[in-house]
C-alpha cells in the first residue's frame, strides 16, 4: 500500500488499520481457537486491554517492516504523543525499550552523520577519515567482531532510543492463520476498501480454514523460514540438513516438494550435483503425484552425470502412468535421448504434427504481434490481440460458480482471487461433476447467455482466469458468435487437464470471420513469431490439440523489411 492509498483510507476512519487488525484477531479467535497456544491466547487478551492509542501504535509498528523503531519515526496524528502510547506497551512487555543492536540493525537505524558521531572512537582507532562512507565504516566495524549492545552503549550521547516489538512472530502466526499464507499482508483490507481489488463473496463454514492442526502451522512456518534463509544467501547444503520430513498434509507436502526443488536448483548451479540429485529425488518421489518438475530435473541431471540406465529405468514406468502432458512431453524427449545413448531403438510415443505456417514480411521493426494484427485486420475480418486472456477468460466466466464453490480447503478468508487448491492434483477431481455441468451448456447452446450474464454480473471481481481489461462485452459477443461451442469444449477440457501449465501458451491473435458462408471456418487463432523466435513447449502442446481436433490455428513467422 502506498502513501496515497493510505491517505485515502484514513479519510473515512483514521484508525482503519486498527479496525482491520482487530477484525483479523476476532476472526482467528473464533475460527482457530483450538490451534492457538497459550502465548497467543494471552496476547489476544492483553491487546484487548491496552489503551486505544497504544493499540494503534503497536499495529502501526506491526504493519511496518522490521522489529526495531525510533520513536521519532512513529509520529501519527491520530495517535498523538508517541511516548505516552509507548509506555503501556513497554509495561506490558510487548515492546522492549532498550534492545541490543547488532551491527546490521545499528546501521539500519542510524543515518550516516549519526553513525560518524556514535562510532567516532572506532573511526579514529582504525584510521578511517571523518568522511568515511557508510559501507566502509560497516566493513571496518564488522572486522572487529563487535558484540551486540544497546544503543546507549554504542552511543552514550544518543538523542533518543531504539525500541523493539517483541510480538512480531505471534502476529505473523495470526496473519498466517487468517490468510493461509504469508504472501498476503494487512494492505489487502485497504485495497479492497478503496475498490482496487474486489473479491467474490464466498460462504465460510466451520471447515473454512487453511490449517486443521497446530503442527501444520508450525510446518508452514518452518518451510517459509528455510526459503527465506535460502533467499538471504545461506548455503543449500546447510539448509538441506535441516529440511523436515515431508508433511502428511497434501497442501504442505506440495510446498515441501517445491522447496526441495528450489534447493536442488541452487545446489545444481553451485556444482553440487549429488546434493541436487538427492533434493530432486525428495521433490519428485516417492509418489507420482509429487513435484513433476523435480522428477524431470532429477532424470536430466542423472543423464548429464552418465547414469543413463538408472534414468531409463525410472523414466520408462513414469511415461506409462503420467497423466500430465507437460511431463509426458519432457519424458518422451528424455527417453529418446537415453535409448539412443544406450544403443537402443529410439521410439517416440508422442506425435507432434507440424502446425500450419505462413510468413509475412513487414516494414519495421516494432512489436511483432501488433504489426501482424494491424496488417491482417479488416472491417469484415477483425483481428484482436488476446494471447492468454481469451480462451481462459471464457472458461473462467462459464465455470465461475465451480471456481468459487466453497469446498473444504478452498476458501478461508474474504480476500481470495480464487480457490486455494486451484493447482492441486485433486482440484478438478473434486469438482468433476460441477465442471461437466458447466461444459454441458456448450453442448446445449446455453453458453453464450451464461458467459455474457456472468460478465455483466461479476465484472471487476477477481478471478484467476479472467483479465477484465482484455475482455469487453463487444469482443465477447463477436467471439461467441464465431467460435463453435464444440471447439470451446475441447479447449476447456485441455485447460482442465493441467490448469497451471495450460493456462499459458495460447495463440497471440484471434481473427474473426463473421460473414463467411456456413461450413467455412469463422475464425482462426494465430501465434506470431518474430525473427529468431521459436515455439515454446506449451505452445506446441496447444497447437497439437488444435491440429488433432481441426481447430483453425496457424503460426505466422514475421520478417522485417520491405513488403514483397
pLDDT tier at 74 (50, 70, 90 boundaries)? very high
> What sections of 49-156 are H helices per DSSP?
52-62, 82-92, 103-109, 112-118, 120-125, 134-143, 151-154
Separation of alpha carbons 179 and 414, rounded Å: 9
Separation of alpha carbons 324 and 541, rounded Å: 12
- Is pLDDT of 273 > 90? yes
State residue 348's pLDDT score: 62
State residue 95's pLDDT score: 98
Cα–chain center distance at 154? 41
Decide: helix, strand or coil at residue 69. strand
Q: Which residues contact 120 (CB under 8 A, 6 or more apart)?
A: none
What is the DSSP secondary-structure string of 528-552? Answer: EE-TT----HHHHHHHHHHHHTT--
Q: C-alpha cell of 94? A: 510487548
- Is pLDDT of 525 > 90? yes
State residue 351's pLDDT score: 66
Separation of alpha carbons 393 and 480, rounded Å: 12
Number of CB atoms found within 10 A of residue 68's CB:
17
95 backbone dihedrals φ, ψ, rounded to 5°:
-125, 135
Decide: helix, strand or coil at residue 165. strand
Nearest to 252 by CA among 322, 173, 169, 181: 181
- Is pLDDT of 11 > 70? no
pLDDT tens profile 118-145: 999 888 888 888 888 999 999 988 888 8
- Is pLDDT of 65 > 70? yes
State residue 285's pLDDT score: 82
Question: For strand 523-529 and strand 553-560, is the pairing parallel, antiparallel, or unpaired?
Answer: parallel
Mean of the pLDDT values across residues 481-504? 96
For residue 398, count CB atoms less than 10 angstroms from its CB and return exposed for 0-12, middle for 13-18, buried for 19 or more.
buried
Q: In what order do the strands lie in the sheet with 68-69?
A: 68-69, 163-165, 95-96
| Range in 61-75, 164-178, 249-263 the model is least confident about | 249-263
Nearest to 162 by CA among 100, 62, 69, 65: 69
pLDDT tens profile 407-443: 988 998 999 999 999 998 889 999 999 999 999 999 9
Structure-derived torsion over alpha carbons of residues 54, 56, 58, 64, reported in degrees to the nearest 10: -150
Mean of the pLDDT values across residues 75-101? 96
Q: What CATH topology corresponds to 207-341?
A: 1.25.40
Q: Are 101 and 149 in contact (CB under 8 A)?
A: yes
Taken as a whole, the chain contains a residue count of 564
Its pTM stands at 0.85
Tell me which residue has cell 509475412. Answer: 360
Separation of alpha carbons 560 and 533, rounded Å: 13
Separation of alpha carbons 253 and 242, rounded Å: 16
Separation of alpha carbons 254 and 420, rounded Å: 13
Q: Are 409 and 420 in contact (CB under 8 A)?
A: yes
Packed helices 308-321 and 292-304: angle between N→C axes, nearest 10 degrees: 150
Separation of alpha carbons 45 and 29, rounded Å: 10
Separation of alpha carbons 103 and 444, rounded Å: 70
What is the DSSP secondary-structure string of 250-296? Answer: HHHHHHHHHHHHHHHHHHHHTT-HHHHHHHHHHHH-SSTTS-HHHHH
Q: C-alpha cell of 255? A: 510446498
* Residue ranges of domains in the chain: 3-170, 207-341, 357-560
Mean of the pLDDT values across residues 388-410? 96
Give yes or no for a cis peptide into 400 (omega within 30° of 0): no
Q: For residue 142, how many C-alpha atoms fall within 13 Å in the half-sphere facing its CB?
A: 11
Tell me which residue has cell 479472467. Answer: 466
Separation of alpha carbons 481 and 295, rounded Å: 43
pLDDT tens profile 200-236: 999 987 778 889 999 999 999 999 999 999 999 999 9
Structure-derived torsion over alpha carbons of residues 48, 53, 57, 59, reported in degrees to the nearest 10: 30
Write out the H or E segment, with its range, that includes residue 188: helix 187-193
Separation of alpha carbons 243 and 165, rounded Å: 29
Separation of alpha carbons 304 and 248, rounded Å: 33
What rounded mean pLDDT belongs to the chain?
92
State residue 206's pLDDT score: 72
pLDDT tens profile 323-358: 888 899 999 999 999 999 999 987 666 667 888 999
Q: C-alpha cell of 123? A: 573511526
Amino acid at each position: 500500500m502506498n502513501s496515497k492509498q493510505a491517505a485515502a483510507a484514513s479519510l473515512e476512519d483514521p484508525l482503519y488499520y486498527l479496525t482491520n487488525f482487530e477484525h483479523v484477531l476476532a476472526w482467528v479467535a473464533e475460527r482457530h481457537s483450538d490451534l492457538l497456544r497459550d502465548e497467543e491466547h494471552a496476547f489476544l487478551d492483553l491487546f484487548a486491554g491496552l489503551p486505544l492509542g497504544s493499540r494503534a501504535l503497536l499495529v502501526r509498528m506491526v504493519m511496518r517492516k522490521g522489529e526495531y523503531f525510533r520513536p521519532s519515526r512513529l509520529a501519527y496524528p491520530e495517535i498523538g504523543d508517541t511516548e505516552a502510547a509507548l509506555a503501556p506497551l513497554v509495561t506490558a512487555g510487548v515492546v522492549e525499550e532498550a534492545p541490543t543492536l547488532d551491527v546490521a540493525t545499528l546501521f539500519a537505524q542510524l543515518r550516516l552523520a549519526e553513525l560518524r558521531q556514535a562510532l567516532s572512537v572506532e573511526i579514529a582507532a582504525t584510521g578511517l577519515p571523518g568522511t568515511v562512507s557508510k559501507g566502509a565504516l560497516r566493513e571496518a566495524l564488522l572486522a572487529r567482531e563487535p558484540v551486540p549492545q544497546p544503543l546507549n552503549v554504542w552511543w552514550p550521547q544518543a538523542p533518543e532510543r531504539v525500541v523493539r516489538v517483541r510480538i512480531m512472530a505471534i502476529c505473523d502466526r495470526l496473519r498466517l492463520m487468517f490468510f493461509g499464507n504469508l504472501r498476503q499482508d494487512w494492505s489487502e483490507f485497504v485495497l479492497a476498501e478503496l475498490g482496487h481489488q474486489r473479491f467474490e463473496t464466498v460462504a465460510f463454514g466451520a471447515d473454512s480454514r487453511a490449517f486443521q492442526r497446530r503442527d501444520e502451522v508450525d510446518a508452514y512456518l518452518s518451510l517459509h523460514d528455510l526459503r527465506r534463509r535460502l533467499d538471504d544467501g545461506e548455503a543449500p547444503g546447510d539448509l538441506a540438513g535441516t529440511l523436515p520430513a515431508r508433511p502428511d498434509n497434501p497442501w504442505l507436502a506440495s510446498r515441501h516438494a517445491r522447496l526441495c526443488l528450489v534447493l536442488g536448483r541452487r545446489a545444481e548451479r553451485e556444482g553440487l550435483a549429488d546434493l541436487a540429485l538427492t533434493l530432486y529425488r525428495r521433490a519428485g518421489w516417492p509418489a507420482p503425484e509429487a513435484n513433476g518438475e523435480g522428477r524431470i530435473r532429477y532424470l536430466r541431471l542423472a543423464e548429464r552425470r552418465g547414469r543413463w540406465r538408472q534414468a531409463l529405468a525410472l523414466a520408462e514406468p513414469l511415461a506409462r502412468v503420467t497423466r500430465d502432458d507437460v511431463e509426458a512431453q519432457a519424458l518422451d524427449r528424455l527417453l529418446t535421448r537415453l535409448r539412443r545413448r544406450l544403443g537402443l531403438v529410439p521410439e517416440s510415443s508422442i506425435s507432434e504434427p507440424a502446425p500450419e505456417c505462413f510468413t509475412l514480411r513487414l516494414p519495421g521493426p516494432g512489436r511483432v504481434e501488433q504489426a501482424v494484427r494491424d496488417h491482417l485486420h479488416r472491417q469484415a475480418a477483425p483481428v484482436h490481440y488476446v494471447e492468454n486472456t481469451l480462451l481462459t477468460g471464457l472458461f473462467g466466466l462459464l465455470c465461475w460458480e465451480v471456481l468459487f464453490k466453497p469446498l473444504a480447503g478452498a476458501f478461508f478468508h474474504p480476500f481470495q482471487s480464487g480457490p486455494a487448491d486451484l493447482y492441486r492434483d485433486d482440484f478438478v477431481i473434486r469438482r468433476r461433476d460441477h465442471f461437466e455441468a458447466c461444459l454441458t451448456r456448450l453442448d446445449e447452446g446455453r453458453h453464450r447467455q451464461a458467459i455474457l450474464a456472468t460478465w455483466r454480473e461479476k465484472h471487476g471481481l477477481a478471478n484467476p482466469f479472467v483479465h477484465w481489461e482484455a475482455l469487453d462485452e463487444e469482443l465477447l459477443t463477436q467471439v461467441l458468435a464465431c467460435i463453435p461451442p464444440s471447439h470451446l469444449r475441447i479447449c476447456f477440457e485441455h485447460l482442465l487437464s493441467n490448469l497451471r501449465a495450460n493456462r499459458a501458451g495460447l495463440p497471440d491473435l484471434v481473427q474473426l470471420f463473421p460473414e463467411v458462408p456456413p461450413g467455412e471456418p469463422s475464425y482462426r487463432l494465430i501465434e506470431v513469431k518474430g525473427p529468431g523466435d521459436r515455439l515454446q513447449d506449451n505452445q506446441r502442446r496447444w497447437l497439437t490439440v488444435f491440429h488433432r481436433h481441426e481447430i483453425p490455428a496457424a503460426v505466422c513467422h514475421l520478417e522485417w523489411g520491405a513488403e514483397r
